Copies of this chain bind each other. A is one copy, B any other.
Amino acid sequence: MQNKPLILITNDDSIHAKGLHKLADIMRQFGEVVVIASEQVMSGMSHAVTIKTPLMPRLTREEDGYKEYITNGTPVDNVKLGKHALLERRPDLIVSGINHGSNAAINIIYSGTMAAAIEGAIDDIPSIGFSLDDYNPEADFSHVDPFIETITKKVLKEGLPEGICLNVNIPKKSEKAVKGIKVVRQAKARWEEKFEARTDPFGRNYFWMGGVFVNGDPRTDTDEKALADNYVSVVPIQFDFTANQALRQFKF
């Protein structure tokens, strides 16, 4: 008898996030689900791993076809813990999210949610990161199901090419219906930070990081453009950082 697919879920907004539980609810129709998520918010943790301290996962919920672990690790730690310590077998799929906030364009590099999906790809496990373009902790996820289901079914059935995962961003809920799914490129957009300088009660200077997101990419086939046009964006993602087009430009 064929086992049901084993699906590992994590995120970077912590075990308490609405988006995580929405994703778990959707995934339970597709297989056996194990959630391994951080106790604390891990937004902006990127591909960080914990090497100075031990990891201590706790099984906090177990019912038919569903388990939930809370950890003191990062999203990438959670994937590694799943693969090597907590899961009884290699997962068939890793899904990360649903992130509260866009991971389109350069946001991917800071995102713990997308790092978890990339970590899956490093180990050749089909992996998808899902994000909603809405930072509100109480965001409305009621429109996301058909898009997540379509993409998940296809990946469960066909797999993904070696070394590639998907970065899926879903427009914020609005009165207009989402128009569909577009496969696009990562936009060249970035944050322009502003550091607000303050003085603490002891006279020491400190800074809070803030900033504005600036998209100067004129191309029409980018994730930012798809989201602006009310499409779900899907970017196939790789973890080879080599700028192949520049290899011949350098000689030392």
Contact surface of A with B, Cβ cutoff 8 Å = 41, 43-52, 54-58, 76-77, 80-81, 83-85, 106, 108-110, 115, 118, 122-123, 150-151, 154, 161, 163-164, 166-167, 180-181, 183-186, 188, 190, 193-195, 197-198, 200, 204-209, 234-244, 246-247, 249-252
Chain B residues near A205 (CB-CB < 8 A): 56-57
**Contact yes or no, A77 B209, CB < 8 A:** yes
Contacts A54-B208, A122-B190, A236-B250 supplied; 15 other A-B pairs, CB < 8 Å: A44-B51, A55-B195, A57-B205, A85-B197, A106-B122, A108-B241, A109-B239, A161-B246, A164-B243, A166-B250, A183-B251, A183-B252, A234-B252, A237-B243, A238-B242
Q: A-side binding surface: helix, strand, loop or mixed?
A: mixed
B188 near A163 (CB under 8 angstroms)?
yes
Min CB gap A169→B, angstroms: 13
Residues of B within 8 A of A106 (CB): 122, 239
CB distance from A131 to the nearest CB of B (A): 14
Please determine whether A110 and B243 come into contact, CB atoms closer than 8 angstroms: no
Question: Is the CB–CB distance between B234 and A250 below 8 Å?
Answer: yes
CA distance A164 to B162 in the complex (A): 25
Return chain B residues, CB-CB under 8 Å to A84: 193-195
B115 near A46 (CB under 8 angstroms)? yes
How many copies, total? 2
Q: Which of B118, B123, B195 interacts with A85 by CB under 8 Å? A: B195
Residues of B within 8 A of A110 (CB): 47-49
Among B209, B234, B235, point to the contact of A55 (Cβ < 8 A). Answer: B209
In the complex, the answer to whether A252 meets B193 with C-beta atoms within 8 Å is: no
Q: Can you show 15 pairs from A to B with CB atoms below 8 A apart?
A: A45-B46, A46-B49, A55-B208, A58-B204, A80-B209, A81-B207, A84-B195, A85-B195, A109-B239, A122-B190, A184-B247, A185-B244, A186-B240, A186-B242, A188-B240
Complex contacts, A198 vs chain B, CB 8 Å: 54
Interface contact B252-A242, CB-CB below 8 Å? no
Flag if B238 contacts A241 (CB, 8 Å): yes
A243, chain B: closest CB distance, angstroms: 4
Residues of the B chain whose Cβ atoms lie less than 8 Å from the Cβ of A181: 252
Question: What is the distance, in angstroms, from A162's C-beta to the closest C-beta of chain B?
Answer: 9
Contact, CB under 8 Å: A80 / B46: no
Q: Which of A194, A198, A236, A251 has the most CB of B within 10 A?
A: A236
Residue of chain B at shortest CB distance from A58: B204
